[in-house]
A = this chain, B = another copy of it.
Amino acid sequence: MAGNEFDLINRYFKAQPVSRKDVVLGIGDDAAVMTMPESSQLVVTTDTLVAGNHFLLDADPMKVAHKALASNLSDLAAMGAIPAWCSLALTMPSSDEVWLKSFCDGFYKLAEYYHVQLIGGDTTKGPLSITITLQGFIPSGKAICRHGASAGDWLYVTGTLGDSAAGLDVILRDNTPSNDIENTLLHRHYYSTPRVLAGQSLRDIASSALDISDGLIADLKHILKASDVSAVVNADQLPLSDELLQYAGSREAAAKLALCSGEEYELCFTVPESHRGALDAALTHTNTPITCIGQIRHGEGLNVMWEGKQVDWSLSGWDHFSA
């Protein structure tokens, strides 16, 4: 990239659709300078996507860009934070401008929607990989953490679960959707919606939250461990899309996919009984569907129930989907 790194930066990264007033100094100096809002705390997250591991080498760069930024946005969403600025470290085998143009289209489309300005990064030569560090802020003391769940809290998830796993299944099979249902699932795998507004609405309501990037079962365990509690999950109450039900063939098969689906970027959160009344009202304006799927208990472990009975499903499949 030596020689035309600065051309690439000028062409693709300096000229971007988002321009925030709180960015004092953007791309083009040794570092970027930003103004923080008063009485706010800084929230920072980083995610890397490696070609051949997190996406196929010939994957559509627009989809890769969406996934890279969406996974970071989802992390801030889970804290209840407001995304603001991001850095992009892009490593490419060569300066492929066709790839880069398409990547930027996908990247800026999502960045514009959430008003996130690219403030810097690094463009280097090497095996294709993308690291994004996203920064945002939150009113001081309002971050939703993983360690706040208590026995008795109700367990919720946003959206529907399992579609992303089914979409990945389509990709890994032959990458060619054979009908509308598979097409929809594929789209859901690639174009997840980070729950940014829902996360912000949960700030004074949820006792804990995280985003489901490694699958519900795997990620929920982080809340349980951090909060030193256990949980009951009613697998028959999991929110499942019609497409998933048709693809999976049975409610049970669909529920198993929903328990393990990674890269879905829905939120999983806990709400104390006393805040349950405020929950629906708070989320109404974000138009985010939520479903109560269980409850937090004392003790350790995670009990999966099906129609009132504890089940012992082999859920090792989730490893397959984890990044």
Measured CB to CB, the residues of A under 8 A from B are 2-3, 24-25, 28-36, 40-54, 74-76, 78-79, 81, 85, 87-89, 91, 119-122, 124-127, 129, 131, 133, 135, 138, 140, 143, 145-146, 209-211, 226, 319, 322-323
Contact = CB atoms under 8 A, between A and B. Distances in A.
Contact of A33 (B43, B49, B88, B91): B43
A121 B75 CA distance: 12
A3 B323 CA distance: 10
A41 B30 CA distance: 15
A44 B122 contact: no
Given A50-B124, A89-B131, A32 B43 contact: yes
A48 B210 contact: no
A49 to B, nearest CB: 8
Contacts of A78: 30-31
B48 A32 contact: no
A165 B137 CA distance: 41
B24 A143 contact: yes
Contacts of A45: 30-32, 87, 120
B41 A36 contact: yes
Nearest to A142: B33
Given A24-B143, A25-B143, A129-B91, A34 B30 contact: no
Given A129-B91, A133-B133, A44 B32 contact: yes
A84 B309 CA distance: 51
Contacts of A127: 50, 126-127, 129
Contacts of A2: 319, 322-323
Task: From A52, A125, A129, name the one whose CB has the most chain B CB atoms within 10 angstroms.
Answer: A129
30 contacts: A2-B319, A3-B319, A24-B41, A24-B143, A30-B78, A30-B210, A31-B75, A33-B41, A33-B143, A35-B42, A44-B85, A44-B135, A45-B87, A46-B120, A46-B122, A46-B133, A47-B89, A48-B89, A48-B122, A48-B131, A49-B124, A50-B127, A52-B126, A53-B124, A53-B126, A89-B131, A126-B129, A127-B127, A129-B129, A133-B133
